[in-house]
Amino acid sequence: MSSPLIIGDTGSPSAMHGLHGGRGVNHWKRFVTGLMLHADWDSFEHNTLEVGGLIGEHVHTRTEEIYFIIAGRGLMRLDDEEREVGPGDLIMTPLNGRHSIENVGDTQLEFIVVEALPPSIAELLPAYRPTEVGAQAPGERS
């Protein structure tokens, strides 16, 4: 079985309103999920958050997240700390870290989010790799 070629773009994202109890619209596009990858990643996503928008405070109990800011200005909250973030900034939110991000600029806040499974979680999940014998790639029929 050969691995499928996966091509994604930032077109046609989903419009998510009031995400995690926040406000405004976040345009969200997930390029790949963990079942498409060999590494213990859960997802790779592109986001644009409208001016004044807020992705509300939330906690991930299964994944760690890495945010990479492409454009705009944001206010990132992690537990009891907050920092202004902008283009080129990378923010790591640990497992069980309470976090949110708000667009505090006058243009869209654009960022990439990568969700990764820490070893303590990955070890508990069933084994799956796209090239395992007998494994089915997403969208593939037997």
pLDDT in tens, 65-107: 999 999 999 999 999 999 999 999 999 999 999 999 999 999 9
Residue 40 DSSP SS3: coil
Q: What is the pTM assigned to this prediction?
A: 0.79
Please give the Cα distance from 81 to 27 (Å, whole number). 26
The pLDDT, as a whole number, for residue 134 is 52
- More confident site: 139 or 81: 81
Instruction: Answer for the pair 13, 27: CB distance below 8 angstroms, yes or no.
Output: yes
Q: Lowest-pLDDT range, 20-29, 43-52, 129-138?
A: 129-138
pLDDT (tens digit, 9 = 90+) per residue, 121-132?
Answer: 778 777 766 655
Q: What mean pLDDT, rounded, does the chain reach?
A: 84
Strand order in the sheet with 41-49: 14-17, 25-33, 41-49, 109-116, 64-71, 90-93
Q: Maximum Cα–Cα distance for the chain, whole Å? A: 51
Q: Lowest-pLDDT range, 16-25, 26-35, 66-75?
A: 26-35
Please give the Cα distance from 60 to 37 (Å, whole number). 20
Residues 59, 27, 51, CA angle at the centre, nearest 5°? 90
Q: For the chain, how many residues are written?
A: 142
The pLDDT, as a whole number, for residue 5 is 56
Please give the Cα distance from 103 to 72 (Å, whole number). 8
